[in-house]
Amino acid sequence: MHRQDLISTGSGIPEMKTIIRGVILKDYLTFRTLVSKVFGVALSLGSGVPIGKMGPFVHIASAVANQMSLLATKFDSAFGNETRRSECLAAACAVGVACTFSAPVGGVLFSIEVTTMYFSVRSYWRGFFAACCGAITIRLLRGFLVQTEVTVNAFFQTSFTPDAFAVNELPLFVVLGIVCGVLGALYISLYRTVVLFLRRNKYAKRIFQQHWIVYPVFISFAFSVISFPHGLGMFSTGRVSIFDVRNYFSL
């Protein structure tokens, strides 16, 4: 897919922000890019690599919306208007988020975030209606095909009772939230450092940019080693509950 269409690589959200703000990215929402993105995301998620699907879903929804706009332009020239196209893409961003999390309201809020420079009031109900259609469709498909309505599986399944915690434990939860926030910031900083290193180091550029297959093979191998079922992988599966982990460390 990388060779088939270089534009289909990556998340897609930064590019959609750029497009909605008026910058033209050639061939980013074409049918060829759409096909490459769909197959690439399906193969990537099927391999088990821990990549997010919200960005690709937003890109796919935007590409579909763009193709529908081009088709509608043949019957009504009003759909060729740039303002109408931007509104359609904003609604498509909401659909992408709604299909990922089954959250229409969150999808509309995300579309507002993407179009922070300008968001038409009349686009609220359009985005919400489109997001509801997307959320309902993904739930129906998962219900018929997978026999479940869950769209995002948690790594550690929990089933807390109403009295699962005491009031005295709330400060510990606050501390835990702060620690997790700091760890998240450190992860983002580490990721930024790695990306800048890969872009600036001449040896890394020679290996990962000229020989594009090396990077996905390296990431897949590293993830396979870390998530090996009989190693650290036993702690990162939805079939292991938090109580099983507690009992394991209490031995």
CA 145 to chain centre: 21
- Asked if residue 138 is part of any domain, the answer here is yes
The pair phi, psi for residue 121, each rounded to 5°, is -65, -35
How far apart are the C-alpha atoms of 64 and 6, rounded to whole Å?
18
- Asked if residue 203 is part of any domain, the answer here is yes
- Give me the domain span that covers residue 235: 167-249
Question: Do 140 and 182 belong together in one domain?
Answer: no
Side chain identity, residue 72: A
Q: Which long-range contacts (CB under 8 A, 24 or more apart) does 16-22 make?
A: 16/58, 16/59, 16/62, 16/89, 16/93, 16/114, 17/114, 19/62, 19/89, 20/86, 20/89, 20/90, 20/93, 20/114, 20/115, 21/115, 21/117
What pairs with residue 241 in β-bridges?
157
Instruction: Give the largest Cα separation in the chain, rounded.
Output: 70
Question: Do 137 and 16 belong together in one domain?
Answer: yes
- Asked if residue 98 is part of any domain, the answer here is yes
Question: Do 117 and 17 belong together in one domain?
Answer: yes
Question: Do 30 and 90 belong together in one domain?
Answer: yes
How far apart are the C-alpha atoms of 41 and 134, rounded to whole Å?
18
What pairs with residue 157 in β-bridges?
241
Give the closest residue to 241 by CA, choosing from 154, 146, 147. Answer: 154
Question: Do 203 and 244 belong together in one domain?
Answer: yes
Question: Do 78 and 127 belong together in one domain?
Answer: yes
Quickly list DSSP for 166-219.
-GGGHHHHHHHHHHHHHHHHHHHHHHHHHHHHHHH-HHHHHHHTTSTTHHHHHH
- Number of domains comprising the chain: 2
Q: What is the pLDDT of residue 1?
A: 47
Question: Do 125 and 187 belong together in one domain?
Answer: no
- Asked if residue 150 is part of any domain, the answer here is no
What letter would DSSP give residue 2?
A: T
How far apart are the C-alpha atoms of 225 and 219, rounded to whole Å?
10
CB 144 within 8 A of CB 136: no
For the chain, residues with pLDDT lower than 70 are: 1-6, 78, 114-123, 143, 145-165, 228-251
Q: What is the pLDDT of residue 175?
A: 92
Q: What is the pLDDT of residue 189?
A: 93
Per the structure block, which two tokens stand in for 36? 């490459």
How far apart are the C-alpha atoms of 108 and 126, rounded to whole Å?
9
CA 189 to each of CA 10, 123, 161, 176, 184: distance values in angstroms, whole numbers, following the listed order: 19, 35, 37, 20, 9
- Asked if residue 205 is part of any domain, the answer here is yes
